[in-house]
Chain A
Amino acid sequence: MTDPDHDIEQALASLRPRAPGPAVTARLAHELDASSSRRGLVIAWSAGFSALAAAFVAAFVFLGGVAESAAPNYQLVHVEQSRPDVQFFRPVQMNDGSYARPVRVRWQDTTRWEDARSNTRLINYRPNDQFTLLPLETN
């Protein structure tokens, strides 16, 4: 099946559009050259800035690394010892015949440390539990 429009389409395609004038071509070439050189300039500036930024980062890491290497300088700001909890037990007889009273004492020690530079806080909480025998004197 032949396309009836094909002959006209072919005839149209054989028409030769006018080429852009030399002024257009020249302006275009100038524009492309200018853009390329601007782009080159941008790349050069970018490379310069990148190198500068890299130097700053390196310096920051190096100098910052020295400063950061110091451990946090915690100062003791608060100490607290809780009221002891004392438990007395029934007296027991020892092997030597004497008597003693078992006593259990429990309390908590809390210390608080602060680093003003980094504004950080360290709390040390330590529970204590001791068991002892108090000798009893018998008359």
Chain B
Amino acid sequence: MPDAHADQDWRAWFAEHGARLRLIARQWTRCEADADDVLQEAFVRFWKHQRHLPGNPNALVVTSIRRAALDLLRRGDRRAAREKVVGDDMDTVTWFEPEADPRLAALADSLKLLPAEQREVVVLKVWGDLTFDEMGEQLSISPNTAASRWRYAMEALRKHITARTHD
């Protein structure tokens, strides 16, 4: 099969997209170290087996990240019984670079208030560049469900930001 991205400099591609991909990995993992491991494993897996496929590689990489994260969670579930793995670290502020603007800092912080299924839709849409159709395939839900989760998330974030502004 011919390589559809033969001229692609994948290191440069990763340098450009690595941060948002890591955020996607982070929201599916329990800690920063796991996010790094998942991102590395997912990208290498994509690079070895799928980089020659035609089309936008973004969705393939996101799929690879999700699989790697699920694999790690399954392994982690088995490991948890004997190692007492650190609990979920959902301090979403640390997912982003520090923001001088308090409104943006509050927005980053408010992501942790969202239910996990709404948060993943927000992350996949804003930083994953996925459409609701692609999200549906990714998460095994209908595009309408993805869209409604997005609307609920936006509503919740707006309420939270408004409340913080009035405080």
Report A's interface with B, CB cutoff 8 A. 4-5, 8-9, 11-21, 23-25, 27-29, 31-32, 35
Contact = CB atoms under 8 A, between A and B. Distances in A.
Contacts of B21: 20
B44 A31 contact: yes
Q: Helix, strand, loop or mixed for chain B's interface?
A: helix
Contact of A17 (B44, B48, B96): B96
Nearest to B21: A20
A27 B40 CA distance: 8
Contact of A16 (B11, B15, B96, B157): B96
Contacts of A11: 103-104, 107
A24 to B, nearest CB: 5
Interface in B72-123: 94-97, 99, 103-104, 107-108, 122
A4 B26 CA distance: 28
19 contacts: A5-B150, A8-B157, A9-B154, A13-B126, A15-B99, A15-B108, A17-B20, A17-B22, A17-B95, A18-B97, A19-B19, A19-B22, A20-B21, A20-B39, A25-B14, A25-B18, A28-B40, A29-B11, A32-B11
B161 interface: yes
A18 B22 contact: yes
A8 B40 contact: no
Nearest to B18: A20
Contact of B122 (A12, A14, A18, A29): A12
A18 B10 contact: no
Interface in B12-63: 14-15, 18-23, 26, 36, 39-40, 43-44, 47-48
B151 interface: yes
